[in-house]
């Protein structure tokens, strides 16, 4: 394969950036795009198109059918898809993200119809840089997984591609990253999922997962290749079974972060700050039991330690507020097994030789104010556990954070019922509001989707050389301040997801300011902007699927805005017809 840059393909060859077949394009535009005659003759408004889409969606009976329909829509009419998603984020996010994306990944090889991202295999090593040339766009951000821990569903190999695709759809809809600036990336490094290896439809390599050492070598090459192909690219690691070595290895060298460790930590701290206020319990008196001591659990606790320290505790005092339970029970130093390195920091040494296997007994012993679930064990917070928490606390903080919904440690309904509606609650996957004692109670969604779009956009716009811990923490603090008066009055822990674009601006601003403070920003001209000016700058640079010129067509309006200097990205073939269009139609 040659290493020279290939001729760029027209964007419609890739599903993430299609959109030429929009029925709102007037005839002149259709002629320019050479789609005249290929679309029914009527020129439609966005409203009519949206009405049809929502009707079609309602006709699909299962979540996976709805997922497939939305995938098709994104492939054939990208701007319409993103406008629809942005306007119906609460209703559509569960269909393109957790929980439905979990089923989509489990069945990816079965339901596959079209390419949606880039796959890099173990046997491609040595050649990764050349393969990246096949991606025909200028990428600003990639989400990469090796599929080894997809949500709480285990090793799904290359079927994990649904996660980068879903996360990047949220980057686009929630923080306004341009669709064609995103790269869903899945590493095919083998899988330990034996059923998949034996499934004739499975589309990845049929070998066991490579060793940790081999994966490290592969990732070293990948990181070099990505940054050589797209200097400044932001790289988000997602759903790796053991993400800590890569995070440690790359975080001071590349513009990268791990969403499960850092994004989750930040989003939970964001809601936790509000939960602690609402609990009425002083920070020094909180005690937290965590079910699950994996990347997310430890990532969350690490960031809460930082919050506790900002509230005046010493690091030692903060660290000792956590009791972790993993598949072998309470994590202690004298348990007799070799603890994974990431667990040692929180391992207890004050258990007097007792090894707690049961969560209930541990709760009796610790008397926690906080119960977090990042264990992948659906239903683990059963009636008994929830009633214990209610008996111990006026406002117990209960966050069942495992995804998808089937893995949630309890439902919202259970948490409300068994705590008499007193729980301060957030879950990883969405649950519906419910009526209780004459009031409507709305659950918080403690999902990293509240922060990763703003972290990514902040890193892109500030041209950050690395993503520092201060930038991650700033995303949490910014999120905690993003609630409006009504949300605060209603006792919400997180803002309404329908305001996610506004929230992402606040998060991105916090991230940019932290990058400036740390001196890792390369867009230093942004330092002179006031907060209002910075918000306006972020907004101006967000991809906007909302077409104000309704009779013209989403894609053309978007292309016009693209030529107006969106991150300097221009598209030659657009400019010609835009000129004609401006004189003919605008
Ligand atoms: N809400 C959100 O935004 C996010 C949610 N998550 C969710 O968190 C969950 C965990 O993710 P992650 O930490 O990366 O996964 P890991 O596989 O790294 O960790 C899972 C942890 O759960 C423990 N565990 C497994 N079975 C049991 C059991 N029976 N009792 C107690 N503990 C058990 C494991 O124990 P052991 O160490 O002994 O194997 C491990 O410590 C997933 O469901 C994921 O979807 C993740 C990121 C973000
Ligand atoms: C939300 C997420 O990142 C996870 O469940 O892994
Ligand atoms: Mg994840």
Judged by its nearest atom, the ligand closest to the C-alpha of residue 266 is 1
| CA of 299, nearest ligand number | 1
The Cα–Cα gap between 398 and 420 comes to 13
Is there a binding annotation on residue 129? no
Residue to mutate, 376, 447, 497, ligand 2, most ligand atoms under 8 Å from C-beta: 447
Residue nearest to atom 29 of ligand 1 (CA): 327
Q: CA-CA distance, 247 to 242, in Å (whole number)?
A: 10
User: Buried (b) or exposed (e) across 395-408, using 16+ Cβ within 10 A?
Assistant: bbbbbbbbbbbbbb
> In the chain, which stretches have pLDDT less than 50?
1-19, 548-586
Nearest-atom index, ligand 1, CA of 401? 1
238 is in an annotated binding site: yes
Q: What are phi and psi of 538, to 5 degrees?
A: -60, -45
> What is the value of pTM for the model shown?
0.91
Q: What is d(CA 328, CA 343) in angstroms, rounded to the nearest whole number? A: 12
Structure confidence at residue 29 (pLDDT): 85
> Distance between CA 101 and CA 90 in Å, rounded?
15
- CA atoms of 278 and 176, how far apart (whole Å): 32
Contacts of residue 3, Cβ cutoff 8 Å, sequence gap at least 6: 129, 130, 133
Tokens of 514: 């932290």
Radius of gyration (C-alpha) of the chain in whole angstroms = 24
Burial class for 543, CB neighbours closer than 10 Å (0-12, 13-18, 19+): buried
Nearest atom in ligand 2 to 296's CA:
6
pLDDT at residue 582, rounded to an integer: 34
Question: Which ligand is the nearest neighbour of the Cα of 447?
Answer: 1
pLDDT score recorded for residue 100: 98
Query: 189 C-alpha vs ligand 2 centroid, how far in Å?
Result: 20
| pLDDT tens-place string over residues 489-506 | 999 999 999 999 999 999
Q: What is the pLDDT of residue 35?
A: 85
CA 96 to centroid of ligand 1, rounded, Å: 22
Please check whether residue 84 is in contact with residue 91, taking contact to mean a CB–CB distance below 8 angstroms.
no
- Give ligand 1 pocket residues (Cβ under 6 A): 149, 151-152, 260, 264, 267, 291-297, 325-328, 374-377, 401-403, 407, 428, 446-448
Tens digit of pLDDT for each residue in 413-422? 999 999 999 9
Q: In whole angstroms, give the CA distance from residue 505 to residue 177.
A: 12
Token representation of residue 53: 């889409």
How far apart, in whole angstroms, are the C-alpha atoms of residue 426 and residue 285?
Answer: 21
Q: Which of 46, 82, 97, 171 is catalytic?
A: 97
Measure CA 56 to chain center: 27
Q: CA 266 to CA 511: how far, in whole Å? A: 12
- What residues line ligand 2, using a CB cutoff of 6 Å? 98, 151, 239, 259-260, 403, 428, 447-448
Alpha carbon of residue 105 to chain centroid: 15
The yes-or-no answer on residue 97 being catalytic is yes
The tokens for 64 are 């996976």
């Amino acid at each position: 394969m040659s290493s020279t840059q290939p001729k760029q393909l027209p964007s419609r060859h890739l599903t993430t950036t299609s959109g030429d077949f929009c029925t709102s394009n007037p005839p002149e535009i259709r002629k320019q795009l050479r789609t005249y005659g290929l679309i029914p003759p009527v020129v439609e408004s966005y409203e009519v198109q949206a009405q049809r889409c929502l009707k079609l969606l309602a006709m699909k009976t299962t979540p996976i059918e709805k997922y497939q329909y939305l995938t098709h829509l994104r492939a054939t009419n990208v701007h319409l898809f993103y406008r629809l998603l942005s306007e119906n984020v609460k209703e559509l996010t569960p269909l393109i993200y957790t929980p439905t994306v979990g089923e989509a990944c489990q069945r990816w090889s079965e339901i596959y119809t079209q390419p949606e991202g880039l796959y890099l295999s173990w046997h491609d090593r040595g050649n990764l840089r050349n393969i990246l040339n096949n991606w025909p766009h200028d990428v600003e951000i990639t989400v990469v997984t090796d599929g080894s821990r997809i949500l709480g569903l285990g090793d799904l190999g290359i079927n994990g591609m649904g996660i980068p695709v879903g996360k990047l759809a949220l980057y686009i809809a929630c923080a306004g990253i341009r669709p064609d600036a995103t790269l869903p990336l899945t590493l095919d490094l083998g899988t330990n999922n034996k059923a998949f290896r034996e499934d004739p439809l499975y589309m990845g390599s049929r070998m066991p997962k490579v060793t940790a050492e081999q994966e490290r070598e592969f990732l070293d090459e990948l990181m070099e290749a990505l940054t050589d192909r797209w200097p400044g690219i932001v790289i988000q690691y997602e759903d790796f079974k053991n993400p800590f070595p890569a995070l440690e290895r790359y975080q001071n060298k590349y513009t990268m972060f791990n969403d499960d460790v850092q994004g989750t930590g930040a989003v939970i701290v964001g809601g936790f700050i509000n939960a602690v206020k609402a609990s009425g319990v002083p920070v020094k008196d909180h005690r937290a039991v965590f079910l699950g001591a994996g990347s997310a659990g430890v990532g969350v606790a690490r960031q809460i330690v930082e919050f506790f320290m900002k509230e005046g505790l010493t690091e030692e005092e903060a660290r000792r507020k956590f009791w972790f339970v993993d598949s072998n029970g309470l994590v202690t130093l004298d348990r007799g097994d070799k603890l994974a390195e990431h667990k040692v920091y929180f391992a207890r040494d004050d258990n007097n030789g007792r090894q707690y296997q049961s969560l209930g007994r541990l709760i009796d012993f610790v008397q926690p104010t906080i119960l977090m679930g990042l264990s992948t064990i659906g239903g683990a917070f059963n009636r008994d556990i929830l009633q214990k928490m209610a008996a111990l606390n006026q406002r117990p903080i209960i966050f069942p954070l495992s995804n998808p919904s089937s893995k949630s440690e309890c439902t919202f309904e259970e948490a409300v019922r068994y705590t008499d509606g007193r729980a301060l609650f957030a879950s990883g996957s969405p649950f519906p509001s419910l009526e209780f004692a004459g009031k409507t109670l709305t659950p918080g969604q403690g999902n990293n989707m509240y922060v990763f779009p703003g972290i990514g956009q902040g890193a892109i716009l500030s041209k950050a050389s690395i993503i520092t811990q201060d930038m991650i923490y700033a995303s949490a603090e910014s999120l905690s301040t993003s609630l409006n008066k009504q949300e605060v009055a209603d006792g919400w822990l997180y803002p309404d997801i329908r305001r996610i674009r506004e929230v992402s601006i606040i998060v991105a601003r916090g991230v940019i300011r932290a990058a400036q403070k740390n001196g890792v920003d390369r867009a230093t001209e942004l330092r002179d902007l006031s907060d209002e000016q910075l918000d306006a700058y972020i907004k101006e640079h967000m991809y906007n699927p909302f077409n104000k010129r309704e009779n013209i067509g989403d894609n053309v309006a978007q292309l016009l805005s693209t030529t107006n200097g969106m991150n300097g990205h221009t598209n030659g073939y657009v400019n010609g017809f835009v000129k004609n269009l401006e004189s003919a139609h605008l």
